Structure 1
Amino acid sequence: MTTALIEGLSMGLLLSALVGPVFFTLIQSSLEHGFRYAATLALGILSSDSFYVLLTYFGVSYLSGATYFQEVLGYSGGLILIGFGISSLVKKNPVRPNTGGILIPQVKKRSAFIKGFSINGINPFVLLFWISIASIVQMKKSFDQGDVMVYYLGILGTVFCIDLIKAYVAKQLSHLVTPKMMNGLNKVVGTIMIGFGVRMLYLTLNGSIV
């Protein structure tokens, strides 16, 4: 169970390092409406992720008994992670004046919870990410139900806590973060994602148990 927790925390840190619309929305919300508003938005993001966890985990578990499904799962999960990595490597963060050099997406004026749930939930890449995580979990034969729960809680808890930290330090962060820094972070995260994907493809090709 300790191994599951460590792996969950590690994957949560990796997911938290991804820079996208949610990151900038947290900063914008904290600057304009305060920490409590941004924290509620983060709760909406957590709820959206939790919904996708249930959807992908039970969906993948339902199909796990099908012939050759483990191989399909391994290859598709690995390719999705590699796709995320390549996308992160080539992504550039556009800039706009008066926002600390970072382009902050315009969002509709809704309640914080609905805003967070919607911005995270309507992004198709979020669903694809959780499909890849469900693929990894399904291939971990050493994991029992308790390990699986701890693994997911590690990911979700880490992401939520770091989202709160992002919101809390948003004012300072907005002056320190530059497009160059974000592009560098994207490249680091992208490389790690590709590494996870290649490893998953290798283990699947060799019939290894994760």
Structure 2
Amino acid sequence: MFEDILTAIPLGFFLSFMIGPVFFVLLETSVVKGFRAALSFDVGVIIADIVFILIAYFSSYRLLNAIKDDPALFIFGGLVMLTYGIISLIKHKKPKKNIDPEDPAELAKNNYFTLAVKGFFLNFINIGVLGFWLAIIITIGPQLQLQPSRMLTFFASVILSYFIVDIFKILLAKQLRRYLNPHNILMIKKAISVVLIISGVFLLVQGLFPKERKMVDKALEKLEHRNE
């Protein structure tokens, strides 16, 4: 059991620093809205990961392989993320001059449940996350002899270590709050909107050109095998 935990911790650390829309939105939420808001968002992200793990574990391998490579899902996820990013970018045209980022009354307006839902769906619409967890189960499962207790220990350790590292990221990002003013907040929100738009376009491209995506995946696999 202890060996399974030690194997899981580096994976959790790696997951926490994977660069993607969730990574940037988490930091933005911490800087602009505070620790509790970012923590709520992160809880939603982790719930989505747990759902993906359960789907990958209890579903058949063939079904999941078909789903994770379905171009329609990439297109759907890309459109949702792209639309969200564009709406967010349009929404944040001008800074709100009357908002003090340190004002507790302003921070109290945060709806933590809404932030958790936002984190869940932002992670869940990225079908690549399902493919990632499926690959982990296929790779790690045999090493754990597919024993439910060992699988539970491993994935619980991954999620816990991932969550702990995220807490440190949130605390570090929160230190930047002292430098905030309406203009800086606007720039951060615009930057995150652009990240979401780019991520949405990336998912769309994967859905619209599935053959090219598979060619890239195969090329990467060959490079990995050569390096082993």
TM-score by length of 1: 0.58
2:115 is aligned to 112
User: What is the aligned partner in structure 1 of residue 141 from structure 2?
Assistant: 138
Task: Decide whether aligned partners of structure 1 residues 18 and 173 sit closer, same or farther in structure 2, where only a CA change above 3 A counts.
Answer: farther
SS at match of 1:136: helix
Q: Deviations over 1:27-79 (max 9, x none)?
A: 111122111000000100110000001000111xx45xxxxx8xxx9xx8xxx
Q: Distance in 2 between matches of 1:173 and 1:21?
A: 20
Measure the CA separation in 1 of the matches of 2:174 and 2:50: 28
- Counterpart of 2:168 in structure 1 is 165
Q: Aligned-pair distance for 1:8?
A: 1.0
Cα shift at 1:129: 0.7
User: What RMSD over aligned residues (CA atoms) do the two structures have, in Å?
Assistant: 3.4
What amino acid maps onto 1:3 in structure 2? E
**Mean CA deviation greater in 114-123 or 9-18:** 9-18
Query: How many pairs align?
Result: 143
| Structure 1 runs, 4 residues or longer, greater than 3 Å off | 105-110, 171-175
The separation in 2 between residues aligned to 1:150 and 1:173, in whole angstroms, is: 36
Counterpart residue type for residue 114 of structure 1 = V
Q: 1:143-177 CA distances to partner (integer Å, 9 max, x unpaired)?
A: 532211111011111111112211111144799xx
> Paired residue for 1:13?
13
1:147 corresponds to which of 147, 150, 163: 150
SS at match of 2:157: helix
Q: Distance in 1 between the 2:88 and 2:141 partners? A: 38
Query: Which stretch shows the higher mean deviation, 166-175 or 44-53?
Result: 166-175
Specify the alignment match of 2:127 in structure 1. 124
* Structure 2 counterpart of 1:50: 50
Q: Which segment drifts farther, 49-58 or 135-144?
A: 135-144
* Alpha-carbon distance in structure 1 between the residues aligned to 2:7 and 2:146: 12
Unpaired runs of 5+ residues, structure 2, are 70-86, 92-109, 180-219
2:141 is paired with a residue whose SS is helix
Cα distance change, pair 118–144 in 1 and its aligned pair in 2 (3 A): same
User: How far apart, in 1, do the equivalents of 2:6 and 2:117 lie?
Assistant: 31
Q: Which residue does 1:156 correspond to in 2?
A: 159
Q: 2:125 and 2:37 mapped to 1: Cα distance?
A: 20
Structure with the higher helix share, 1 or 2: 2
